[in-house]
Amino acid sequence: PIYISFCGHAILGDDTFIVEDASMHQDFADNPLVAGDPNIRFYAGAPLHAPGGARVGTLSIIDRQPRRLSGQDQNVLRDLANCVEMELAATAIREREHLLQEITDATPGLVAYWDRNLVCKFANRSYMDWFGRRPEELIGTTLPELLGPELFKLNEPYVRGALSGAAQQFERTLRKTDGTTGYTWAHYVPDRRSGIVHGFFVLVTDITPLKIAENKV
């Protein structure tokens, strides 16, 4: 229960919470965790924070014998807590990336992101299928490598426009990997943060059925 928990005290602080000998401590001497099993004498706990700053737990050391932590030992405990917090942040990022991938994979259009160096950082399943690339073949490749020199030359004015901060819209005829001709309507949306364009989002609609229908009229 939190009302007898040592961690309940540690999680409220901003620094390492240390009890060198709980049996001699005015706040813990009669604590049931001290007076009985597991007979705690020493406790040191560092608070853990989620990426948003919420207090979510502690990294703790407990012993049945009284102890003293040197300044170096306290630094090691804090460093270990920092490592746990970094793993919590990495887990949150992986979960967000997974959710983003699931959402965009369910989108009928093609979605991708290219940074300022024209390196692909993200692509949904439709985008990869269109170009016949697996994730490991597409993520990290450059846009000129993906499109080839001729098609990239046609798209380059729109790429430069997006990187200058202006949204772009255009229609394009593309040769698919299976040899068939496809028609797309593309949007290049600048990724502007703090007044700086870091790359651009690619949102493409496959309008091949519509164009085929138009051509038959």
38 preceded by a cis bond (ω within 30 of 0) = yes
- Specify the pLDDT at position 176: 67
Please give the structure tokens belonging to residue 158: 């729109």
Residue 125 has phi, psi (to 5 degrees) of -60, -40
CA 50 – CA 58 distance, rounded (Å): 11
Number of Cα atoms under 13 Å in the Cβ half of residue 15: 4
- Residue 52 is predicted with a pLDDT of 86
> What pLDDT sits at residue 199?
97
Please list the alpha-helical segments (H only) found in 106-124: none
Where the chain has pLDDT below 70, the residues are 176-177, 217
pLDDT attached to residue 217: 59
Look at the block and give the residue holding tokens 């005015």: 26
pLDDT for 108-132, tens place per residue? 889 999 999 999 999 999 999 888 8
Going by C-alpha positions, the residue among 194, 203, 142, 195 that lies closest to residue 172 is 203
Q: What does 45-101 look like in DSSP terms, one character per residue?
A: EEEEE-TTS-EEEEEEEEESS-----HHHHHHHHHHHHHHHHHHHHHHHHHHHHHHH
> What's the pLDDT at 177?
65
Give the pLDDT of residue 63. Answer: 96
pLDDT the model gives residue 196: 95
Instruction: Report pLDDT for 181.
Output: 76
